[in-house]
Amino acid sequence: MGGGWGDFGVQRIFGAGADHLLIDAVLLDCDVPQQAIIHGDALSASIAAASILAKVERDRMMCEWDAVFPEYGLASHKGYSTPQHLAALQQYGPTPLHRQSFAPVWSSPLVQEVFNFD
């Protein structure tokens, strides 16, 4: 998914409370000062902990999205590239949850619906 974690996530999550961000590799589009660290999850305990928390939250969200997109089996594979997930992508096409950078999505001839977070 793409476009603006700076616009959508960082300001909503941290608001005025963050004075500096440590980022794993890619800088975010936001006004909060930040430092991008290549392989940050291996070099920073803070980034590694945030990565674990993000993955746990993502897995929880995938279980909730399973009710919306039951044909994909998100509760069982959490969106990871399993044979079941790839077969569902091929059969049903990508959902708005799928990242455009995921090869089975950008190479799919089926149109992908996109969420609008405004």
The string of pLDDT tens digits covering residues 53-101 is: 989 999 999 999 999 999 999 999 998 889 998 898 888 888 888 877 7
Q: Mark whether 54 and 23 lie in a shared domain.
A: yes
Put simply, whether the predicted model's pTM sits higher than 0.85 gets the answer no
Residue 71's contacts (CB-CB under 8 Å, 6 or more residues apart) are: 88, 91, 92
Which DSSP string do the residues of 46-113 spell out, in sequence order? HHHHHHHHHHHHHHHHHHHHTTTSGGGTHHHHTT---HHHHHHHHHH---TTS-TTSHHHHT-SSPPP
Same domain for 46 and 77?
no
Domain around 47: 16-65
Report pLDDT digits (tens) over 13-25.
666 677 888 988 8
35 lies in the same domain as 50: yes
